[in-house]
C-alpha cells in the first residue's frame, strides 16, 4: 500500500487518553501518599515515578504517531522474537526481578521493565501481519488458526511461569478477537474456546493460590482474612463511596486496609473518593476510547491497518474491563492494571505506544461520511465539473 494523503488524527482519542492519564496521576498520588510516606518517607514517591513514566510514554506515543504504521510490518518477526526472549529471560535467576512472590520484571538502568507488556504488543503485530497475508486461508484451521495458537501457547507458557495469569488472559482475548476480526471460522474459534476452558481450569486448580482465589471469588466471606481479603476490602471501598464519594484524598481503605491500592485496586479508591459519579466517568472514558478506536478501524483502507487497530484497542479496553471486573467482584483476582491510571511504568509506556500507533493509522483513514459529504457536496443532476477541475 503506497502512502496516501494524511488526514487529521483522531484528536478525540488523544483527548480521551489525556483525560485518563490526568485521572491516573491524581489518583496514584491520592491512593499511594500514605503508604509511600510510611515506606519511603516521601508521600510523593510514586507520583514522581508515575510522572516520569508518563513523560517516557508520551515520548513513545509521539514517535509512534510519526512512524507510518506500514513500516511496522518489517519489524514483526524481530519484535515477536524479542518478546519471546523477554518473557523467557525474566525467568532466569539474577536476571528477572522478584516482587510480591512473582518474577515478572527485568531491571534496566534502575527502571523495572515487564516483558509481558511487550509480548502483548508483539502478538498484536504478529497477528496483524499474519492474518493480512493469509487472506481467505485464515478460514482453514491448519494454515489460518493453528500458527497463531502455537505462538500464543509459547508466550502463555512462559508468562504462566512468572506467574502472571492476567497477562495470559489478555493475550488469549487478543488472539481470539483478532482471529475473529481476521475472518476465522466461528466453528474453529468455538472449538478452540471449548478446549481452552478445561485447560484454564487445570492451570488454576494446579496452584493452591489460584484455586483459593477462585473460591474467594465465589464466596469471599468464607475466608475474609485470607483469600477473600482483597475483594472484601475493595467492595467496602467502592460501597462506602456512595453517589458522590468521600472526597478526593479522604479514602479510609488506603490506610493499609486495601492492598495494592495504587496499582491493581486503584479503581476501588476512585469509587470510594469520587463515588458512583467519578467511577462512571472513568468507565465512560474507556467506553469512548473503545468507540473512537473501533470507528478508526472501520475507516481504514487496508486489512493490516484494520487488524492492527482492532488488536490494540481490544488490548486496552480488555485490560480495563478485566481490572474493573476484579475490583467490583465480577471476576476473580487476576492482577491486571487499569490502563493509564494504575501505577506502573511498563503498562503506561506500552499503552501510550499502542495509542500512538492508532493515532498514526487514523491519519490514513477514510473520512467520516459527513465530512466527505461536506467536502464534496452533491451537484445537480446533469451538471458537470468545470474544465479546470476535470483536467
**pLDDT in the model for residue 3:** 45
Domain that residue 150 falls in: 11-365
Q: How many CB atoms lie within 10 A of CB 163?
A: 18
Burial class, 379, CB count within 10 angstroms (exposed 0-12 / middle 13-18 / buried 19+): exposed
Q: Are 262 and 275 in contact (CB under 8 A)?
A: no
Q: What residues are paired with 263 via a beta bridge?
A: none
Q: Has residue 314 been placed in a domain?
A: yes
Strand 96-99 and strand 111-113: the pairing is: unpaired
Residue 128 has, within 13 A of its CA and on its CB side, a CA count of 31
In a domain, 287, yes or no: yes
Which of the 8 DSSP states describes residue 337? -
* Cβ-based neighbours of 128, under 8 Å, separated by 6 or more: 76, 178, 304, 307, 308, 311
Say how far residue 379 (Cα) sits from the centre of its chain: 46
Find the Cα–Cα–Cα–Cα dihedral 303, 309, 312, 318, rounded to 10°. -100
What order of strands is seen across the sheet that includes strand 102-108? 96-99, 102-108, 111-113
Nearest to residue 349, comparing CAs of 112, 175, 152?
112
Cis before 163 (ω within 30): yes
pLDDT (0 to 100) of residue 148: 92
- Selection from 292, 290, 320, 302 nearest residue 72 by Cα: 302
Residue 373 belongs to a domain: no
Per the domain annotation, does 51 fall within a domain? yes
The predicted structure's pLDDT at residue 327: 92
Give the other-Cβ count within 10 Å of 315's Cβ.
25
DSSP letter, residue 187: H
Identify the bridge partners of residue 59 per DSSP, sorted by sequence position.
none
Burial level of 82, CB count in 10 A (0-12/13-18/19+)?
middle
Confidence band for 387, pLDDT divided at 50, 70 and 90: very low
* CA–CA dist 117, 162 (Å, integer): 13
Residue 281: inside a domain: yes
Tens of pLDDT along 36-51? Answer: 999 888 888 999 999 9
Residue 343, C-beta contacts closer than 8 angstroms, at least 6 positions apart: 28, 32, 46, 49, 50, 262, 263, 266, 337
Give 332-359 pLDDT, tens digit per residue. 888 789 999 999 888 999 999 999 999 9
CA atoms within 13 A on the CB side of 69: 32
State the Cα–Cα distance between residues 13 and 15, nearest whole angstrom.
6
pLDDT at residue 390 tops 50:
no
Contact 2, 357 (CB under 8 A): no
Tell whether 386 is covered by a domain.
Answer: no
Rounded to two decimals, the pTM is 0.88
Residues in CB range of 70: below 8 A, 6 or more apart? 1, 302, 304, 305
Residue 373 has pLDDT above 70, yes or no: no
> Is residue 374 scored above 60 in pLDDT?
no
Domain count, the chain: 1
User: Is pLDDT above 50 for 5?
Assistant: no
Q: In whole angstroms, give the CA distance from residue 247 to residue 270.
A: 10
Q: For residue 212, tell me if it sits in a domain.
A: yes
The overall average pLDDT reported for the chain is: 85
Q: If you average pLDDT over residues 189-197, what whole number do you get?
A: 89
Point out which residues pair with 112 in neighbouring strands. Answer: 107
Selection from 28, 168, 199 nearest residue 102 by Cα: 168
Do the strands 96-99 and 102-108 form a parallel or antiparallel pair, or are they unpaired? antiparallel
The answer to the question of residue 209 being in a domain is yes
Q: Find cell 458522590 and name the residue.
A: 244
Q: What is the pLDDT of residues 216-257, one digit of tens each?
A: 777 788 878 877 888 999 999 999 989 999 999 889 898 988
Sign of CA dihedral 272, 276, 277, 283: positive
Backbone angles phi and psi of 162, in degrees to 5: -70, -40
Amino acid at each position: 500500500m503506497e502512502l496516501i494523503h494524511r488526514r487529521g488524527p483522531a484528536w478525540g482519542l488523544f483527548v480521551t487518553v489525556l483525560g485518563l492519564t490526568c485521572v491516573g496521576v491524581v489518583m496514584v498520588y491520592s491512593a499511594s501518599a500514605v503508604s509511600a510516606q510510611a515506606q519511603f518517607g516521601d508521600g510523593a514517591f510514586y507520583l514522581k515515578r508515575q510522572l516520569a513514566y508518563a513523560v517516557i510514554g508520551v515520548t513513545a506515543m509521539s514517535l509512534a504517531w510519526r512512524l507510518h504504521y506500514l513500516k511496522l510490518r518489517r519489524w514483526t518477526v524481530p519484535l515477536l522474537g524479542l518478546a519471546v526472549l523477554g518473557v523467557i529471560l525474566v525467568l532466569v535467576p539474577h536476571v528477572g526481578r522478584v516482587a510480591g512472590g512473582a518474577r515478572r520484571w527485568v531491571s534496566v538502568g534502575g527502571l523495572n521493565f515487564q516483558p509481558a507488556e511487550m509480548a502483548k504488543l508483539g502478538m498484536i503485530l504478529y497477528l496483524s501481519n499474519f492474518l493480512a497475508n493469509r487472506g481467505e486461508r485464515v478460514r482453514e484451521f491448519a494454515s489460518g488458526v493453528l500458527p497463531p495458537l502455537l505462538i500464543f501457547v509459547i508466550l502463555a507458557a512462559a508468562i504462566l511461569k512468572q506467574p502472571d495469569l492476567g497477562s495470559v488472559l489478555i493475550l488469549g482475548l487478543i488472539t481470539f478477537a483478532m482471529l475473529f476480526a481476521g475472518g476465522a471460522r466461528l466453528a474453529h474459534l468455538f472449538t478452540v474456546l471449548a478446549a481452552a476452558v478445561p485447560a484454564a481450569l487445570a492451570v488454576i486448580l494446579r496452584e493452591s493460590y489460584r484455586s483459593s482465589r477462585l473460591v474467594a471469588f465465589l464466596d469471599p466471606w468464607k475466608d475474609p482474612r485470607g483469600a477473600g481479603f482483597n475483594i472484601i476490602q475493595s467492595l467496602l471501598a467502592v460501597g462506602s463511596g456512595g453517589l458522590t464519594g468521600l472526597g478526593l484524598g479522604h479514602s479510609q481503605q488506603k490506610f493499609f486496609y486495601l492492598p495494592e491500592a495504587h496499582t491493581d485496586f486503584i479503581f476501588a479508591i476512585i469509587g470510594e473518593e469520587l463515588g458512583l459519579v467519578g467511577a462512571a466517568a472513568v468507565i465512560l472514558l474507556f467506553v469512548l476510547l473503545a468507540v473512537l478506536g473501533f470507528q478508526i478501524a472501520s475507516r481504514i483502507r487496508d486489512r493490516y491497518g484494520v487488524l492492527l487497530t482492532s488488536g490494540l484497542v481490544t488490548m486496552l479496553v480488555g485490560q480495563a474491563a478485566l481490572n474493573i471486573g476484579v475490583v467490583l467482584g465480577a471476576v476473580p483476582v487476576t492482577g491486571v492494571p487499569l490502563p493509564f491510571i494504575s501505577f506502573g511504568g511498563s503498562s503506561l509506556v506500552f499503552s501510550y505506544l499502542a495509542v500512538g500507533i492508532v493515532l498514526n493509522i487514523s491519519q490514513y483513514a477514510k473520512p467520516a461520511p459527513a465530512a466527505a459529504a461536506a467536502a464534496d457536496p452533491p451537484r445537480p443532476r446533469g451538471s458537470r465539473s468545470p474544465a479546470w477541475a476535470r483536467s
